[in-house]
Amino acid sequence: MRPIYPAASALLALISSNASAIETPRDTMNLNEVVVTAPLKTDPELIPLNVTQISSSQIEQSGESSLLPVLTAKVAGLFVTERGFAGYGVSGGSAGTVNIRGVGQGNKVLFMIDGQPQWAGVFGHSVADTYVANGIERIEIVKGPSSLLYGSNAMGGSINLITHTQREDGLTGRARAMFGSFSTQKFALSSGYKKGKFSATLSGQLDRSNGNRAGSAFWLANEFAQLKYAASRHWSLAGMLDMTQTHADNPGTLQDPLENMWTDVVRGTGGLYIKNNYEKCDGGIQGYINWGRNNVDDGNTPGTTPKDYIFHSTDYNMGVTAYESLYLWQANTLSAGIDFQHWGGHVWNTNKEDESIRTSEARHNVNEIAGYVMMQQGFFHDILNINGGVRLQHGSTYGNEWVPQAGFIVRPTGTAQIKGSFSKGFRAPNIRELYLYPPANPDLKPEYMLNYELSYRQHFLDYRLMLGAAIFYIDGRNMIQTVREDGRPRNVNTGKFRNKGFEVEAAYSILSNLQASASWSYLHTDSDNLYSPKNKLNAEVIYSPGDFSFTLEEMSIWSMQNGNPNGSKESYSLLNLRAAYTLKGKAPVTLSVKIDNITDKHYQIIYGCPMPGTTLMGGVEFKF
């Protein structure tokens, strides 16, 4: 199959932009490669890798309650798997794998909330359904290894979800309700309060859907709370709690249907931090915990006897990190930190008729400690910046891992930027790979990859037009694969891969109320890499006359392996439209409608899981 919109998409790419996608000088850049405020451990301008930001207005404009579709639509070279209209699930047949430049399978992209790592301590994977728009102010994405700052699981990149902060005094809030295809209902309520040095935010979200296939019902509830206190001009402290509960039914694939397959997941994240901010230094210390409880019925094929057990697991991922950046002399920044992490969990099966009967029970944990240092020095009035750093991480199961990074940033003019970098990323083996089930091997070493990247970005027409391009080469080593040794399956460090490609992006503010944006990414890989499109094209046009707003969005995918056993690849194009009308006043009200897959395209991201045709969502939002 061939995409049906390549000509239209190419035309949009020539005029492309997004109002929030127009970069402005240095610290206020928007669209891709955007910098607004410093991330947790260092200023993004110190990172010679490609840094992308998705703003709160872009998240709101998408009409999505899950953040993963927003990532796919907004970030060049990033793709997320889906199996249906609602819910990603866990266990067999789950979706929500994030690939950046073809790297992501096996949890090689690290998700964080305010710098706190988010992944299940037993199986080492992120839980896609927990990454919701509720309470999120913006998203910062690093395309390329982030292991220098964050260690394991940031091998292919990192995605940091920055939570909302109340900035204006008094009480504000919003409430939203949406209804649409497959009996889908989405509700969200959020509020913020600030008085003097104290601020608080509180929000909740509830999603329900029958799904686009029989037996694919899904519901999710999320609650978020955060307190902040500015103790002085130089010190502040904060605490947050985020909870998610989900239930997802899984009908299996068309080729291998399932009955009675479901998952119940409860996950929580809590964190406390203290920050300092002085003229010659800034930093802080942060403690966090991410925990979960999962219950899974693996189901049965139609006509067979249901399984007599339920799988259970509890897991945790906790740690503390201390970091500080020093500004010792002109155009110099020295960042250093220490990280400690303790993660693990407990798995077991219970008999459905007698829950006191437990089988396949196991407990394991891992400790990791690391220190890192990174320095950037500017020359020639910041026209040239040289960056370098190294991390040493010690794991109780794998020993020492060195992580180097080096790069440069050149600004030949006030509107142009060139970045080049070499970096290493790694992923430590998880507990399942080390200890659980027959392929387990306690002697596994971390996977790692070497990344080489060069990018260029230029602004024109008084920052109304932006053009950018990047090329990369990735060399992956020590991939964990299951092979047969003496007739038995065993996990070993034997896999390799090489990915190379390029990305081009453009943004153009045509008029004050007409913007467009587009990106095209190309990937070549020498491995059988699932769910990594060879070509991905995104284009968007936004027109905002008066109180109306119209967004036309197109995505084309070429040559993606989706698991089809005959080796054929999937290609498709989707066209989406969102329209909104705002009744302005003291309490603005916005009415919106969202139509996805307007042309009713039939496609499968995961083989055997047909995606929905044309879908419709409509809603109303109140602000106060």
pLDDT band, very low/low/confident/very high, at 108 (cuts 50, 70, 90): very high
CB atoms within 10 A of CB 586: 6
> Which element (helix H / strand E) includes 13?
helix 6-14
The whole-number pLDDT of residue 106 equals 82
The whole-number pLDDT of residue 525 equals 95
pLDDT at 68 over 70: yes
The whole-number pLDDT of residue 119 equals 92
Q: 7 vs 12, 95, 243, 394, CA distance in Å?
A: 9, 31, 44, 51
Q: What does the block give as tokens for 360? A: 């396949």
Alpha-carbon distance of 593 to 178, in angstroms, equals 9
pLDDT at 35 over 60: no
pLDDT at 385 over 50: yes
pLDDT at 361 over 70: yes
The whole-number pLDDT of residue 528 equals 84
pLDDT band, very low/low/confident/very high, at 284 (cuts 50, 70, 90): very high
More confident call, 151 vs 167: 151
Q: What does the block give as tokens for 118? A: 């988010």
CB atoms within 10 A of CB 319: 20
- 3-state SS, 559-610, equals EECCCCCCCCCEEEEEEEEEEEEEECCCCCEEEEEEEECCCCCCCCCCCCCC
The whole-number pLDDT of residue 38 equals 38
| pLDDT, average across residues 143-154 | 95
Task: Write out pLDDT tens, residues 208-220.
Answer: 999 999 999 999 9
More confident call, 445 vs 18: 445
The whole-number pLDDT of residue 233 equals 93
| pLDDT, average across residues 75-101 | 93
The DSSP bridge pattern shows strands 184-195 and 447-460 to be unpaired
Alpha-carbon distance of 64 to 620, in angstroms, equals 13
As a whole-number percent, the residues of the chain with pLDDT over 90 amount to: 85
Domains in the chain with CATH codes:
6-623 (2.40.170.20)
Q: Is 458 exposed, middle or buried (0-12, 13-18, 19+ CB in 10 A)?
A: middle
pLDDT band, very low/low/confident/very high, at 40 (cuts 50, 70, 90): low
DSSP line for 425-437: EEE---HHHHHSS
| pLDDT, average across residues 287-299 | 96
| pLDDT, average across residues 15-43 | 41
| Mean pLDDT rounded to a whole number for the chain | 91
pLDDT band, very low/low/confident/very high, at 103 (cuts 50, 70, 90): very high
Alpha-carbon distance of 352 to 307, in angstroms, equals 9
More confident call, 90 vs 475: 475
Task: Write out pLDDT tens, residues 562-607.
Answer: 999 999 999 999 999 999 999 988 889 999 999 999 999 999 999 9
